C-alpha cells in the first residue's frame, strides 16, 4: 500500500483540523511568490481551441531560460513522474531530505535508491542517476555549477543521467545549468509556479537534449499544457521589467524573512522564496503558529532533526502577523 506524499498548500486540511475558517489563515506552507504575475485577460480562443504545440511557447521558454531546447509540460511534477520510466534501470542518488516525489517515482520505475551526500566532492561509482534540487527544497542548500557539471560528466561516462530541479532558481539565473542542456544525460526542470506565483496553471519545462524531450513528449501525449496556461506563461516571459523588479523584491524579502526568524533564536537557511529552520521543537512551533492561523510546512523524517519551512508573507499586514506570532511564542 502506498501512502500519499505530503506537500505544502494543504490549507483546507489545516482549517478542518484546527477549526479555524479557511479565509482566516495566513498560508506560508509553500515557497510560492505571494505577489504573483498579474496575468492579462485570456483571449476567448484560448478557451475554445485545443492547444497547439507550434504556438511558439517552447521557443519562448528556450529563450527565457537560455536553453537550446524546451519541452512544455503540465508543471515539472509531470516530468518527475514520467522520467524514471524512460531511463535505464539503475541506482538513483537522492538526498535524504528533499522534494518528496523523487524517491517514490524512481522506486516505482524499478530503480534502487541510495542516499546522496550533497556535500560530497565526487559521486560514488555505484550511482547511475542523480536527482538534485538546486537550490534544495526544503534545506536551501546550493551546489555550484562546477560541482554539478563534474557530477554530470561522471554519470554520463557510464550512461547515466543528472536531473537538476531548478524550481527555485529563477531569482539567480546565473546559477542555472539551462545553457548546458544540449549535453546528453543532463536534464533541467523549470517551473513557472514559484517565481511567477502561478502554481495553479500547472506549467513547467524540461530542458534537455532531443533524446530525452522526444521520449518524454511521446510518454506524456498531446495537450499537456492548456491554452489559458500557455497564454499566461507567454505573457509572463515577455514581461522582463516585472521579472527584474520581482527578483530584487524577492531577494530583499527573503533576507528579511531569514533575519526575522533568526532574531527569535532559530538557526536559519534560506532562499529568496522560503526560510528553513531545523530544530527539535519544530512540531511544537508549527502547532503554535497554527493555533494563530498561520500555516507552515513541517518536515519530521525518521532519524533526522525535525524542521520547519516558512514561506514569504505578502502584504505588510501578513509580516506584522507573523512577527507578532513569533514574539508571542518565544515569550
Q: Report residue 202 as a C-alpha cell.
A: 500547472
Taking residues 66-75, what's their average pLDDT? 96
| Strand order across the 274-278 sheet | 269-271, 274-278, 307-311, 297-299
Share of the chain above pLDDT 70, in %: 97
Provide the pLDDT confidence category of residue 72 given band limits of 50, 70 and 90.
Answer: very high
- CA 140, 269, 281, 23: dihedral to nearest 10 degrees? -70
Q: What's the rounded Cα separation, in Å, for the pair 14 and 7?
A: 12
CA distances from 160 to 17, 91, 120, 122 (A): 44, 10, 18, 15
Q: Report residue 236 as a C-alpha cell.
A: 509572463
Q: Report residue 304 as a C-alpha cell.
A: 533526522
Q: Report residue 199 as a C-alpha cell.
A: 502554481
- Asked whether residue 295 carries a pLDDT value surpassing 70, the answer given is yes
Instruction: Say what the pLDDT of residue 10 is.
Output: 87
44-238: what CATH class?
Answer: alpha beta
- Asked whether residue 2 carries a pLDDT value surpassing 70, the answer given is no
Chain segment 87-122, per-residue pLDDT in tens:
999 999 999 999 999 999 999 999 999 999 988 778
- Burial class of residue 190, CB neighbours in 10 A (0-12, 13-18, 19+): buried
Q: Exposure string (b/e) for 125-140, b if CB count within 10 Å is 16 or more?
A: eebbbbbbbbbbbbbb
Which pTM does this prediction carry? 0.94
Q: What's the rounded Cα separation, in Å, for the pair 230 and 46?
A: 8
Place of cell 511544537: 284
11-36+241-330 maps to which CATH number? Answer: 3.90.1150.10
**Secondary structure of the chain as H, E, C letters:** CCCCCCCCCCHHHHHHHHCCCHHHCEECCCCCCCCCCCCCCCCHHHHHCCCCCCCCHHHHHHHHHCCCCCEEECCHHHHHHHHHHHCCCCEEEECCCCCCCHHHHHHHCCCEEEECCCCCCCCCCCCCEEEEECCCCCCCCCCCHHHHHHHHHHHHCCCCEEEEECCCCCCCHHHCCHHHCCCCCEEEEEECCCCCCCHHHCCEEEECCHHHHHHHHHHHCCCCCCHHHHHHHHHHHHCHHHHHHHHHHHHHHHHHHHHHHHCCCCCCEEECCEEEEECCCHHHHHHHHHCCCEECEEECCCCCCCEEEEECCCCHHHHHHHHHHHHHHHC
- Burial class of residue 262, CB neighbours in 10 A (0-12, 13-18, 19+): middle
Higher pLDDT among residues 5 and 118, named by residue: 118
Provide the pLDDT confidence category of residue 6 given band limits of 50, 70 and 90.
Answer: low
Chain segment 173-223, per-residue pLDDT in tens:
999 999 999 999 999 999 999 999 999 999 999 999 999 999 999 999 999
- What are the residue ranges spanned by the domains of the chain? 11-36+241-330, 44-238
Q: What's the rounded Cα separation, in Å, for the pair 141 and 137?
A: 8
Amino acid at each position: 500500500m502506498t501512502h500519499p506524499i505530503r506537500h505544502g498548500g494543504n490549507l483546507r486540511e489545516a482549517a478542518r483540523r484546527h477549526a479555524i475558517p479557511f479565509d482566516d489563515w495566513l498560508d506560508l506552507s509553500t515557497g510560492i511568490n505571494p505577489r504573483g504575475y498579474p496575468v492579462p485577460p485570456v483571449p476567448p480562443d484560448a478557451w475554445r481551441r485545443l492547444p497547439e504545440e507550434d504556438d511558439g511557447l517552447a521557443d519562448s521558454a528556450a529563450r527565457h531560460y537560455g536553453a537550446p531546447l524546451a519541452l512544455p509540460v503540465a508543471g515539472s511534477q509531470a516530468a518527475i513522474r514520467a522520467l524514471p520510466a524512460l531511463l535505464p534501470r539503475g541506482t538513483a542518488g537522492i538526498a535524504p531530505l528533499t522534494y518528496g516525489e523523487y524517491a517514490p517515482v524512481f522506486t516505482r520505475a524499478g530503480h534502487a535508491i541510495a542516499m546522496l551526500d550533497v556535500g560530497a566532492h565526487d559521486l560514488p561509482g555505484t550511482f547511475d542517476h542523480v536527482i538534485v534540487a538546486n537550490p534544495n527544497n526544503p534545506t536551501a542548500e546550493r551546489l555550484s555549477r562546477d560541482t554539478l557539471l563534474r557530477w554530470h560528466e561522471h554519470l554520463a561516462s557510464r550512461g547515466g543521467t543528472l536531473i537538476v530541479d531548478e524550481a527555485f532558481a529563477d531569482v539567480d539565473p546565473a546559477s542555472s545549468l539551462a545553457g548546458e542542456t544540449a549535453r546528453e544525460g543532463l536534464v533541467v526542470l523549470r517551473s513557472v509556479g514559484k517565481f511567477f506565483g502561478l502554481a495553479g496553471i500547472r506549467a513547467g519545462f524540461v530542458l534537455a537534449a532531443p533524446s530525452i524531450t522526444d521520449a518524454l513528449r511521446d510518454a506524456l501525449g498531446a495537450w499537456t499544457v492548456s491554452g489559458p496556461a500557455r497564454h499566461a506563461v507567454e505573457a509572463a516571459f515577455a514581461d522582463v521589467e516585472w521579472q527584474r523588479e520581482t527578483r530584487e523584491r524577492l531577494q530583499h524579502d527573503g533576507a528579511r524573512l531569514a533575519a526575522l526568524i533568526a532574531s527569535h533564536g532559530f538557526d536559519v537557511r534560506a532562499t529568496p522564496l522560503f526560510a528553513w529552520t531545523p530544530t527539535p521543537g519544530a512540531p511544537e512551533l508549527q502547532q503554535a503558529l497554527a493555533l494563530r492561523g498561520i500555516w507552515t510546512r513541517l518536515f519530521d523524517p525518521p532519524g533526522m532533526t525535525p524542521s520547519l519551512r516558512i514561506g514569504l508573507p505578502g502584504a505588510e499586514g501578513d509580516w506584522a502577523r507573523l512577527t507578532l506570532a513569533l514574539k508571542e511564542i518565544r515569550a
